[in-house]
Amino acid sequence: MSTLVIKDLYAEVEGKPILKGVNLTVNEGETVALLGPNGHGKSTLLNVLMGHPKYKVTKGEALFDGQNILEMTTDMRSKLGLFLGMQHPSEVPGVINSDFLRAAINEHSEKPISTYQFYKLLDNATKEVKMPFDLATRSLNEGFSGGEKKRNEILQLVLLNPKIAFLDEIDSGLDVDALQIVAEVINKLKEKGMGFLAISHYARLYDLINPTRAVVMINGRIVVDGGRDIISKIDMHGYEWIKTELGIEIAKEEKNMNTVSIGSCAVKENIK
Amino acid sequence: MKELFLKDISNTFTVEENQKLFIDNFDGEKSFSVTVNSDVESQLSLLSLEGFSGNIDIKVNTNSRLEIFYADLAKNSSNVKVNISLDEGSGVVFHLASLTTGTSNKNFTISVDHNAKNSTSFVDNYGVVKENGKLIFDGVSYIKNGCVKSVTRQNAKIMVFDEKSIGIAKPILKIDENDIQASHGAVVGKISDEHLFYLMSRGLSEEKAKVLITYGYLKPIMNGFDESTQQKIEELIEGRM
């Protein structure tokens, strides 16, 4: 059984510390709900674990089966069996979804998959997530609706079959039916033994996927690690009780002035 | 549409009927002119592997269309000037995709003169610069006085890979008439970190991810070529990345 152990993890973005000593263990086969107010580091944690270039780890380690993944490239982490279902999946023009999926599957298997095998696999997976097959033949996420993007994330989750999957608000942008489908897929994967660390702001997703544990992140640390009852408590009472029960002052989300001015509208750092 | 594969192009070439022209070895130094006769639908596909330099003068006569696909995958330097002249009711679509690597220095000047009303031009220049390469997209779309209801758009995008690579895009509009539509845009920048991260988070190596993104970026040019040439272009891009 695979285990991810995060030890005293510190990370910053553009010089601003976000994670301030995270300690957390996630086992394969476990479903952990990651809760916490906005701006306290939940998404940062998942992105740091996957190796997003924007975040800089300043201290600590994350051991996946004993190996420190923080020293690895993002693709190596994926090959080891980690996966991040993104909150805002990128639109990549010109890269055909199916070409990308096939390349990704090939990276995860010893020998390249045949065209026939691939289409069979893709056909089954698109049916499982109830995604129209033609979305697989279009440019990656380009022009996809919010719900379609999230389904495409779940499609990739099914195809790549990781040991532990991080889900960053996988339920946002989904309608009730789509949420049901996504939850069904997650439950099937859970039965197969996949582990999950899932962020959501809504108890609804958690009701559907039945987490084994719930952890709460405040001020860049995990301050509560306990049973499922925490989810309903937060759903009903918010986060204030943590302040009174644990004596933790909850930092308010800072909102900086927008640095983009009208004069810079034609300047882009990256080509989209 | 009738297809014609040319080994080379003569100094003056006339397109008399609806046809697609392909030149697979569009290389060397040369200047020539192409005239598209009235009421003709045509396509000109150019594949440059060694490098081409010279002036290309194109005249599109009344109510005719010409779509040009120019794939430049040469390792050598080049200096290309394309001047397109449009007559009443005519239109041109120009797609350029250039892969500039090594120490090569490439300069593409794509200009369109709208000489009569109801003429349309769309110029899309896409480029990727690596290593010590330098790539310049230049050109003027000129709508003359009296060319009412004309439409022009110039679009230039350059993806810059390395610190020493240089990309310059100058899409210029010169407009002497009010009743028209004109727009231009330019983007020069590095490959998106978000895109790379997304592809790599699914297990693709950085190199493989860059090839996929670059190929996708240069892809609009593929529509101008048959399947075997497309495959050749794809392999060339992959080999050069």
Chain B partners of A73 at a C-beta cutoff of 8 Å? 200, 205-206
Half-sphere exposure of B73 (CA within 13 A, CB side): 25
Long-range pairs, A254-259, Cβ under 8 A, ≥24: A254/A39
CA distance B139 to B112: 8
| Residue B69: predicted pLDDT | 97
Asked if B200's CB is within 8 angstroms of A73's CB, the reply is yes
Output the pLDDT for position B99.
94
Does B213 sit within 8 Å of A94, measured CB to CB?
yes
pLDDT-derived band of residue A264, with 50, 70 and 90 as boundaries?
very low
Q: Is the pLDDT of residue A251 over 60?
A: yes
Instruction: State mean pLDDT over B157-181.
Output: 95
Residue of A nearest to B210 (CA): A95
List the single residue in A92, A96, A160 with the smallest CB-CB distance to B195: A92
Q: Minimal Cα distance from A46: which residue of B?
A: B201
Q: CA-to-CA distance for B189 and A30, rounded, in angstroms? A: 42
pLDDT at B240: 82
Q: Do A94 and B193 touch (CB under 8 A)?
A: no
pLDDT for residue B156: 95
Q: At CA A20, angle to CA A14 and CA A24, rounded to 5?
A: 125
Q: Are A206 and A231 in contact (CB under 8 A)?
A: yes
How close does chain A come to B205, measured CA to CA in Å? 6
Of A51, A78, A90, the CB nearest to B194: A90
Alpha carbons within 13 A on the beta-carbon side of A8: 2
Task: Tell whether the model's pLDDT for residue A201 goes beyond 70.
Answer: yes
pLDDT digits (tens, 9 = 90+) for B26-49: 999 999 999 999 999 999 999 999
pTM of this structure: 0.84
E strand map for B87-218: 91-100, 105-114, 120-129, 134-138, 140-143, 151-160, 166-169, 172-175, 181-191
Locate tokens 């609804």: which residue?
A204
DSSP per position, chain A: --EEEEEEEEEEETTEEEEEEEEEEEETT-EEEEE--TTSSHHHHHHHHHT-TTEEEEEEEEEETTEEGGGS-HHHHHHHTEEEE-SSPPPEEEEEHHHHHHHHHHHHSSSPPPHHHHHHHHHHHHHHTT--GGGGGSEETTT--HHHHHHHHHHHHHHH--SEEEEESTTTT--HHHHHHHHHHHHHHHHTT-EEEEE-S-HHHHHHH--SEEEEEETTEEEEEE-THHHHHHHHHTTHHHHHHH-PPPPPPP-PPP---GGGTT--SEE-
Task: Return the bridge partners of A166, or none.
Answer: A84, A197
Distances (CA, A) of A27 to B130, B161, B202: 43, 40, 21
- Using CB atoms, pick whichever of A75, A93, A266 lies closest to residue B204: A75
Kindly determine whether residue B187 and residue A271, on different chains, have CB atoms separated by under 8 Å.
yes
Set of chain A residues whose Cβ sits within 8 Å of the Cβ of B206 = 73, 75
The average pLDDT across B104-128 equals 97
pLDDT for the residue numbered A45: 97
Inter-CA distances, A230 with A200, A206, B99, Å: 13, 11, 56
User: Could you tell me if B7 and B30 are in contact, meaning their C-beta atoms sit under 8 angstroms apart?
Assistant: no
With a cut of 90, say whether residue A169 has pLDDT above it.
yes
Cβ within 8 Å, pair A94-B159:
no
| CA dihedral sign, ordered A126, A132, A134, A135 | negative
Statement: residue A50 has pLDDT above 70: yes
Residues B7-24 have a mean pLDDT of 90
| pLDDT at B215 (0 to 100) | 87
- Chain B positions contacting chain A at CB under 8 Å are 157, 159, 186-206, 208-209, 212-213, 215-220
* Average confidence (pLDDT) over A175-202: 94
pLDDT value of residue A253: 66
Contacts of A256 (CB under 8 A, 6+ apart): none
Percent of chain B surpassing pLDDT 90:
85
For residue B237, name the pLDDT band (cuts at 50, 70, 90): confident
- Candidates A47, A95, A102, A105: best to mutate against B (most CBs of B within 10 A) is A95
User: Dihedral of the CA atoms B146, B147, B150, B153 (nearest 10)?
Assistant: -100
Name chain A contacts of B205, Cβ cutoff 8 Å. Answer: 73, 75, 107
Q: Which of A78-82, A136-140, A169-173 has the highest mean pLDDT?
A: A78-82
pLDDT digits (tens, 9 = 90+) for A70-95: 999 999 999 999 999 999 999 998 89
The answer to whether the CB atoms of B193 and A78 lie below 8 A apart is no
Averaged pLDDT, B190-206: 95
Give the closest-approach CA distance of B217 to chain A in angstroms. 6
Q: What is the average per-residue pLDDT within A163-192?
A: 94
Contact A271 B190 (CB under 8 A): yes
- Mean pLDDT to the nearest integer, A16-40: 95
Q: Average per-residue pLDDT in chain B? A: 94
Of A78, A95, A108, nearest to B201 by CB-CB distance is A78
Secondary structure of residue B204 in the 3-state scheme: coil
Q: Do B197 and A53 touch (CB under 8 A)?
A: yes
